[in-house]
Amino acid sequence: MTALSRIGLLAKTGDPRAREVLARVAAALNGRGATVALEANTAADCGLTYPAFALDALAERCDLLFVVGGDGTLLAAARAAAVRGLPIAGLNAGRLGFLTDVTPDALDAGLAALLEGRGRAELRTLIAAELSRADGDRIAAGLALNDAVVQKRAAGRMIELTTRVDGRFVCTHRADGIVVATPTGSTAYALSCGGPIIHPKVDALAIVPICPHTLSDRPIVVDGGSKIVVSLAPGFAGNAQLTLDGQIGIEIVPGDSVAMWRADQRLTLLHPPGHDYFEVLRDKLHWGRGGAPER
């Protein structure tokens, strides 16, 4: 990658640790001659005196969007970055942090590598989702980096859904919902529902039932070029919703259908040199206790 000099900063608001780390990041970037600008809500929360812009405007002005927080904070910025082809990187000031992989103790080295163009760029798949009424009217559409989820809203009730892949009927599900996940999202909600971990380089999508009534209703992995349609049974009398990355919620009524497919846009995720996906899995999921075996 080429060297980067215009850096947009976005941080988790209301978090004292994120504010403290953000100040360190901004100072380190300044010290290396980078131009720094802040996302507007971040600026209001942290009190730093840098130019501030709404997220979309900030994304237009940057060479790199750098996120301080956890994966949820990065997800909020990822959609704006992806539609503009803007690379994004993150420092983990949250909890799990599969996506925000610059660590506070390696801040200076990580920032130097990114600014000098030595970061490792990785393209990540996004899902495009479109909600339509039974009469064919298109109600809403959006993008997700992790997952699109059709799920119940009322506690203690299941919903009835049908799934189709490329027009072919797959199954009728009685469950709490369905997760359609990218490889990036395979370590998020889908994983907690018993779904598989999919390496980011695999061109695939996972369809994962949430708490299905039939225990043999298992997750399935389909080709990344598939079109998946999830429909809410017309006779269902309760409330349901479509959520994108757990952050955008849209009400669904009986007879609605949600079409999902691999988006044309992809996210460029920047990692520090030496990034190893399997090491991330071992660390975050606490696999084993021993080191790597000798070759």
Positions marked active-site: 71
**DSSP-derived secondary structure for 142-168:** EEESSEEEEEE-STT--EEEEEEETTE
Contact 64, 52 (CB under 8 A): no
Please choose, from the candidates 66, 124, 76, the residue with its C-alpha nearest in 3D space to the C-alpha of residue 100.
Answer: 66
Task: Number of helices (H) and strands (E) in the chain: give both, helices first.
Answer: 7, 17
Specify the long-range contacts of residues 21-26, CB closer than 8 Å, at least 24 apart. 21/68, 21/91, 21/93, 21/104, 21/107, 22/46, 22/48, 22/68, 23/48, 24/104, 24/107, 25/66, 25/68, 25/91, 25/107, 25/111, 26/50
**Calpha distance 170→136 (Å, rounded):** 21
- Between CA 260 and CA 128 the distance in angstroms is 6
